[in-house]
């Protein structure tokens, strides 16, 4: 029976062009949405104008199109969503679930994450100093099933782990924006790289604080380069060559443990995606590099 409720997304931060590792993530989330006869959305997480560029956004969207990864709704840009993040922060502050913090990174490091000014209790006023806003976590050991990795357990420590949700520079932080938008867009299933696995228990608390139920999660292994480093923009992973989308898709399918037939790379991208949807085997995704 069609699962009409499934809604997934690919949510890149535009710090550089799409590289092979992000294609693998995009493809996995696309195929999961397709096999569930769900919707697949693309959201550009452009929260930090100092690290991100409109050129990278254009290049990512162009690459996705070249690879046939066309979203089912208009692309959302987090840079246009500041009002929603502001409202969420105001709600968290008024519920006592967020607090202002002017501590420096050094101060926090020196005290193993404890706040010298007891910011959580709201005893100190930042005054003229720049301050961040942090989410107030509860001490908790979270258990949940990852759809690929199986049962997960994560410990979250109040105060020490409290994530920044509004940075001192005035930018909204990933940890808040990702949850606000996943809630607002009705995302039921998050498929993303396992480099974000450690964020999950904190995000579950933010979901609940905003009155929502967390989605299902599926973390796929991060693709490593030959030196064993994560393929990422920071490691200068090469941009995908958009002139050979068929070869890139075949390589991405192979990285996901699928076994495309040898002549599939002669086909147009839509045929490759159709084959991949028909033959998608989640269990075949290798877990080795997680």
> Footprint of ligand GLU on this chain (CB under 6 A)?
11-13, 45, 178, 192, 196
Nearer of residues 196 and 264 to ligand GLU, judged by Cβ = 196
Nearest distance from C-beta of residue 69 to ligand GLU, angstroms? 15
- List all residues 6 or more positions away from 79 whose beta carbon is below 8 Å from its beta carbon: 44, 46, 47, 49
Q: CB of 105: closest distance to ligand GLU in angstroms? A: 21
- For the four alpha carbons of 239, 245, 248 and 253, in that order, the dihedral sign comes to positive
Name which of 215 and 260 has its Cβ closer to ligand GLU: 215
Q: Are strands 132-135 and 76-77 parallel, antiparallel or unpaired?
A: unpaired
List the catalytic residues: 233
Residue 180 in tokens: 């606000």
Between 196 and 212, CB nearer to ligand GLU = 196
Residues facing 98 on adjacent strands: 135
CB of 274 to ligand GLU, least distance (A): 25
**In the complex, least distance from residue 232 CB atom to ligand GLU, rounded to whole angstroms:** 9
Nearer CB in complex with ligand GLU: 193/245 = 193
CB of 157 to ligand GLU, least distance (A): 22
Asked whether 218 and 30 are in contact (CB, 8 A), the reply is: no
Which of 41, 137 has the CB closer to ligand GLU? 41
């Amino acid at each position: 029976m069609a699962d009409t409720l499934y809604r997934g997304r690919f949510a890149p931060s535009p710090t550089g062009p799409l590289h092979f590792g992000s294609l693998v993530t995009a493809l996995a989330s696309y195929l999961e949405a397709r096999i569930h006869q769900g919707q697949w959305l693309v959201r550009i997480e452009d929260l930090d104008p100092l690290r991100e560029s409109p050129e990278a956004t254009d290049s990512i969207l162009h690459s996705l199109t070249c690879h046939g990864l066309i979203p089912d709704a208009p692309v959302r840009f987090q840079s246009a969503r500041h009002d929603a993040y502001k409202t969420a922060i105001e709600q968290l502050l008024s519920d006592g679930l967020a607090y202002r913090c002017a501590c420096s990174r050094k101060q926090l490091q020196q005290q193993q994450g404890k706040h010298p000014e007891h910011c959580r209790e709201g005893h100190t006023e930042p005054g003229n100093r720049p301050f961040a806003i942090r989410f107030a976590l509860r001490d908790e050991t979270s258990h949940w099933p990852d759809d690929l990795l199986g049962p997960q357990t994560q410990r979250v420590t109040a105060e020490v782990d409290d994530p920044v949700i509004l940075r001192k520079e005035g930018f909204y932080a990933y940890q808040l924006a990702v949850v606000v938008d996943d809630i607002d867009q009705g995302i039921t299933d998050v498929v993303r790289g396992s480099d974000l696995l450690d964020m999950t228990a904190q995000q579950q608390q933010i979901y609940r604080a905003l009155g929502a139920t967390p989605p299902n999660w599926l973390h796929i292994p991060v693709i490593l380069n030959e030196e064993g480093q994560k393929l990422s923009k920071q490691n200068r992973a090469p941009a995908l060559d958009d002139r050979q989308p068929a070869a890139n898709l075949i390589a991405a399918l192979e990285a996901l443990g699928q076994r495309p037939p040898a002549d599939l790379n002669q086909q147009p991208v839509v045929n490759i995606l159709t084959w991949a949807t028909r033959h998608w085997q989640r269990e075949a995704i290798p877990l080795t590099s997680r």
